[in-house]
Amino acid sequence: QVQLVESGGGLVQAGGSLRLSCAAFGSTFSIRAMAWYRQAPGKQRELVAGITSGGTTNYADSVKGRFTISRDNAKNTVYLQMNTLKPEDTAVYYCLASRYGLDYWGQGTQVTVSS
């Protein structure tokens, strides 16, 4: 089992920045991909950014150039640096970890961007 604990969400004005963190606990050995998803009210959960254990990253088109995902394997922690935030980035952000074909989710952290 893997437990994920997210932190760093909050309220920010448009144009501002936030940094989300997701720490993994438990059976963290062989966690491969980690990712951030988000879900806005009335919308489906969508991938924001992902990173493999080797450091390969991918981003949703809507956040390219504004968000950066990074990972500290020694700390079993993944980060999402969010810059130039827009009101449409408002959502609950969830962390995901994949291990041996199973996906584990965090509880989510709210990000609200005011205009």
Q: H/E/C letters for each residue in the chain?
A: CEEEEEECCEEEECCCCEEEEEEEEECCCCEEEEEEEEECCCCCCEEEEEECCCCCEEECCCCCCCEEEEEECCCCEEEEEECCCCHHHCEEEEEEEEECCEEEECCCEEEEEEC
Q: What is the band of 115 on the pLDDT scale with cuts at 50, 70, 90?
A: very high
Per-residue pLDDT, 29: 78
Q: What is the band of 89 on the pLDDT scale with cuts at 50, 70, 90?
A: very high
Q: What is the band of 30 on the pLDDT scale with cuts at 50, 70, 90?
A: confident
Per-residue pLDDT, 95: 97
